[in-house]
């Protein structure tokens, strides 16, 4: 559906414009239009496609969705695909923002996400001295808001990782820790897939040959790139920490299993001695020693108890029991 369609001139908001009147406003000197749509249907995308003569391949990508973050130039039109991330319960949900930037228009199409960019539009309108840079500044504002939205997600993932790390060294369920770590690793990879391609592609928007729409806003895109570099480094650190935590958890499980094995082996050794004595004295030999001794039975039990006691003391001393 259409969220809003607004005409701007020299950085100032003129008025909301119906789609049918966009062509007239675009012809005004120093004027550009900003159209925002959410979960647009095919007919709406086709209509916008016809109005702005958008690139066919980029429009096809928008229809299919699930694009990798990227920047593509089609003549005078710049196509940008971004991932929108937000938590729905405990699951990290991935939406998409596709942006078409021309000399006199910006078209943003948001899909599979409830994140709102009304605050971005309000911010741009509060800074007419920057908005007068035109569609290039609008692209920066949308990118900046998207990238800034990644930081709370990173903070939440780091908090979750710290909680899991604290639980690793307690006698909690090791299987649950592994499941939580792998679930967290999957969410970190979702963030990585949103940040890494965007960081690589954003270098094309400042320094060297940049698209004409972004020529006056290079320092702003450099700032976005710096944020992406910080995010990417933090994500890589989290991935390494998660891998280390998984190895530590598995090592603790192995150590715990070793402790159990040693305890079982110690008790098995003790009972083996008792079984050996009982087996020897239980054999029916005619001339078996101590068979006719009235203290033979108490002596046998005492010998078994003494042997078992000595073994128990030895195993306790070495920490096996």
For every residue of 132-191, DSSP letters joined together read: TTTHHHHHHHHHHHHHHTHHHHHHHHHHHHHHHHHHHTTTS-HHHHHHHHHHHHHHHHHH
Domain that holds residue 80: 1-127
pLDDT digits (tens, 9 = 90+) for 242-272: 998 888 888 777 777 777 777 777 778 777 8
Quickly list H helices, the chain.
22-26, 42-52, 56-64, 118-126, 128-131, 135-148, 150-168, 174-202, 218-281, 296-317
CA–CA dist 203, 222 (Å, integer): 8
Dihedral sign computed on CA atoms, order 50, 59, 202, 155: positive
pLDDT at 287 over 60: no
- 44 lies in some domain: yes
CATH of the domain at 59: 3.30.460.20
> Residue 282 has what pLDDT?
67
Q: Is residue 175 part of a domain?
A: no
**Does residue 247 lie within any of the structural domains?**
no
Max distance between CA atoms of the chain, in angstroms, equals 124
The pLDDT of residue 157 is: 94
Last residue of a domain, one of 94, 127, 160: 127
pLDDT of residue 142: 95
User: Can you tell me the distance from the alpha carbon of 113 to that of 119, in angstroms, rounded to the nearest whole number?
Assistant: 16
Does residue 186 lie within any of the structural domains?
Answer: no
86-90, 201-205, 277-281: which has the minimum mean pLDDT? 277-281
| 14-25 residue pLDDT tens | 989 888 888 777
- The answer to whether 82 touches 198, Cβ cutoff 8 Å, is yes
Q: Is residue 59 part of a domain?
A: yes
d(CA 106, CA 6): 10
Domain end position, chosen among 92, 112, 127: 127
190 vs 254, more confident: 190
3-state secondary structure of 71: strand
Instruction: Sort strands 105-111 and 31-38 into parallel, antiparallel or unpaired.
Output: parallel
What is the predicted pLDDT for the residue at 297? 63
Higher pLDDT, 279 or 49: 49
User: pLDDT grade, residue 59 (50/70/90)?
Assistant: very high
* pLDDT score of 295: 64
Which residues fall within 8 angstroms of residue 139, CB to CB, at 6 or more apart? 78, 80, 99, 101, 106, 213, 214, 217
Instruction: Specify the pLDDT at position 280.
Output: 62
**pLDDT for the residue numbered 34:** 92
Position 247 scores a pLDDT of 86
| pLDDT given for residue 248 in this prediction | 85
Q: Per-residue pLDDT for 216 more than 90?
A: no
Count of domains observed in the chain: 2
CATH number at residue 310: 1.20.58.340
Lowest mean pLDDT among 34-48, 55-69, 293-307: 293-307
pLDDT at 272: 81
Give the pLDDT band of residue 294 (cuts 50, 70, 90). low
Q: Is residue 92 included in any domain, yes or no? A: yes
With 80 as the cut, is the pLDDT of residue 92 above it? yes
273, part of any domain: yes
What CA–CA distance (Å, rounded) separates 189 from 195?
10
- pLDDT for 283 equals 61
**Domain assignment of residue 4, yes or no:** yes
* Residues with Cβ within 8 Å of residue 33, at least 6 apart in sequence: 5, 6, 7, 8, 17, 22, 25, 26, 104, 105, 106
The two three-digit tokens of residue 277, written as one number: 């004595």
User: Which residue among 103, 127, 151 closes a domain?
Assistant: 127
Please tell me the pTM assigned to this model: 0.80
């Amino acid at each position: 559906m259409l969220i809003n369609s607004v005409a701007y001139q020299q950085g100032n908001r003129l008025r909301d414009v119906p789609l049918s009147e966009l062509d007239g406003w675009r012809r005004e000197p120093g004027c550009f239009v900003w159209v925002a749509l959410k979960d647009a249907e095919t007919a709406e995308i086709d209509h916008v496609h016809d109005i702005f003569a958008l690139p066919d391949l980029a429009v096809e990508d928008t229809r299919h969705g699930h694009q990798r973050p990227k920047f593509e130039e089609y003549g005078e039109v710049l196509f940008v695909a971004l991932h929108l991330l937000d938590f729905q319960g405990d699951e990290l949900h991935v939406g998409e923002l596709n942006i078409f930037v021309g000399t006199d228009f910006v078209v943003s199409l948001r899909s599979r996400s409830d994140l709102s960019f009304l605050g971005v539009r309000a911010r741009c309108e509060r800074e007419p001295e920057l908005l007068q840079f035109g569609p290039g500044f609008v692209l920066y504002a949308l990118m900046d808001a998207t990238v800034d939205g990644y930081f709370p997600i990173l903070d939440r993932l780091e908090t979750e990782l710290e909680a899991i790390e604290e639980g690793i060294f307690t006698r909690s369920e090791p299987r649950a820790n592994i499941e939580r770590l792998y679930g967290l690793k999957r969410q970190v990879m979702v963030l990585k897939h949103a940040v890494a391609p965007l960081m690589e592609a954003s270098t094309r928007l400042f320094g060297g040959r940049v698209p004409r729409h972004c020529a006056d806003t290079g320092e702003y895109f450099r700032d976005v790139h710096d944020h992406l570099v910080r995010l990417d480094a933090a994500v890589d650190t989290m991935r390494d920490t998660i891998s280390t935590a998984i190895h530590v958890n598995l090592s603790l499980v192995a150590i715990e299993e070793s402790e159990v094995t040693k305890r079982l082996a110690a008790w098995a050794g003790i009972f083996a001695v008792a079984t050996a004595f009982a087996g020897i004295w239980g054999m029916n030999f005619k001339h078996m020693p101590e068979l006719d001794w009235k203290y033979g039975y108490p002596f046998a039990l005492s010998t078994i108890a003494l042997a078992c006691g000595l073994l128990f003391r030895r195993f306790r001393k070495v920490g096996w029991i």
